[in-house]
Amino acid sequence: LGAIDMVTLFVIAIFMNILGPKVESYGAKKCLLATMIGLIIFNTLVGVFLVLKLTARWLYVIFFALGVGIASSTAWTSCLYVIFI
């Protein structure tokens, strides 16, 4: 659990600097919608992995880093931007 947490926070820190400024150019609502769709797909895949009883640690570390990390780095900036419009 600690590895998943650290990798996810690392990815959020990197991608917030890369994708954060893109929210303003693409539009906050479009970015937030894309983020929510991405999280739906990610959570569905994790559910499928759990049903199939896949217990490889690296699989969950990678999916949490990519799913939650990248989506959260875009969603946080979209939410902050939408609030202050």
One-letter identity of residue 5: D
CA-based nearest residue to 12, from 77, 69, 74, 78: 69
Residue 83 is predicted with a pLDDT of: 56
| pLDDT for residue 28 | 77
pLDDT, residue 48, reads 92
Q: What is the DSSP letter of 78?
A: H
Average pLDDT over residues 37-61: 87
Q: List pLDDT tens digits, range 1-41.
A: 677 778 878 888 888 878 777 777 887 788 888 888 988 89
Which residues make Cβ contacts (< 8 Å) with residue 63, sequence separation at least 6? 42, 45, 46, 49
Please tell me the distance from the alpha carbon of residue 52 to that of residue 67, in angstroms, as a whole number: 19
More confident residue, 7 or 50: 50
**pLDDT tens digits for range 58-68:** 888 888 777 77
